[in-house]
Structure 1
Amino acid sequence: MCKVIAIANQKGGVGKTTTTVNLGIGLARKGKRVLLIDADPQGSMTVSLGIDEPDKIEYSLANVLMDVVNEEEIDYAKIILKHEENIDFIPANIELAGLEVSMVNVMSRELVMKRFISNIKENYDYILIDCMPSLGMITINALVCANSVLIPVQASYLPVKGLQQLIKTISRVRRQINPELKIEGMVMTMVDMRSNYTKDILEALESTYGETIGIFDSRIPMSVRAAETSAEGKSIYIHDPKGKVARSYEELTEEVLVHE
């Protein structure tokens, strides 16, 4: 049974891509069959997995979603790429931004990604979707086909307004289209426990959301070495296998597995 997790937060720079890549590869290291989908036209996840120039990719998520809209045959061998750390991934580039605009007039536009993913789910234990930092149509598509949403929250910024909007959107999708959608939990990223401000934010989030949403025990620490991994096309497990960030993502992986 495949579990689809959307990694979402409409604020950028909170560690969505880093979390998608390292959680996905963490699950693969536990023997799970994993597909990562880059659903952000910036293509950050695609770059993190070793493709230096996403805009030169011939076939990306935008192309496959357009094939679904036009009811054309999908070339799965062409769209699903392999990464050396034992995961599959679907790349994205700037064409996805254009597709979002053109989907306005598409019938059942919220269901396009679901129609594609339903054809490949049986090949995977986990599909993780790295959402763009907005609540536009592509992100709605990700929420419609997901079983749950994992929300990375930057520990150096109090994200109350943005989170409220995201939670409202999740509730609306659940009510109108995807009643099975759950919130997997929040994961704190870029944590510096030496900072009193960080501790204040953690306490504020736990008091505001702790009972209704749940916050993962794993805390992803602030780290220069973690920021360097995207330039190498490798995960933190190869770049700094004994570091604090790798250990934290291993702990997050274990917590996600408990939710199976």
Structure 2
Amino acid sequence: MKNILLVVVLAFVSVFSHAQSADDIIKGMTSGKKVKPKPEYNFAGSLKFQVTAIQEGKASKGEQMWYFPVGKENIFGIAMNMEQGSSIRGVIDYTDKSMIMFMEDQKMVMGIPFDLDKTMNDMQNDPKTKVSTPKKTGRTKTILGYACEEWVTENIEYSSSMWMSEKLPINSASFYKIMAQQLAKSTGTPMPADMKGIPLEIQATNKKSKDKYSLVCTEVSSKPTKFSTAGYKTM
């Protein structure tokens, strides 16, 4: 479960500062408190990423999907296919302060409390995970036909770069603004006014071990998608 929020929201400030998020997810799962999932969650479009991690010289790969909400709905979806063959989907609901997890192998769905404001604030108050304000390098490149600008940020352990594009054909423009406002509010780290859009490529390097992690977008889709709880047993 520790990687479920790997890039859902933290990509905007530091991709691999997710330890606090993992702790909060585990606390939510073991708290005994449950959140009733909604019948379905609707999304306006999605991005598919190839995920690669090189640790101690060994490479592992996976696939990840990000899902963007319809209109001004304050949710975000993610799906992951892992090397072991298992898969999982999740929805972060900022308004209800909850996370809904779909476990595909078991056909089960679970809702737990998850306060994004608290998680992000705790991260920025911890010297180990506190990240710098993103800075634009001036470098540009095209990914899947979309113009991107490079932004960099770092913390004690990692340095990372993000290639951002705001030209995506996904009808969820207000979400970008919501996300920036949310991050600025909860972390105390203001997002630069000209940092817009969504990252199509993310690279991070551990400063000490030199382990490398990357997410590279391989597909942009404006096809509507829904996560339905029909056929899933609620935990």
Normalised by the length of structure 1, the TM-score is 0.29
Higher helix share: 1
The normalised TM-score by structure 2 is 0.31
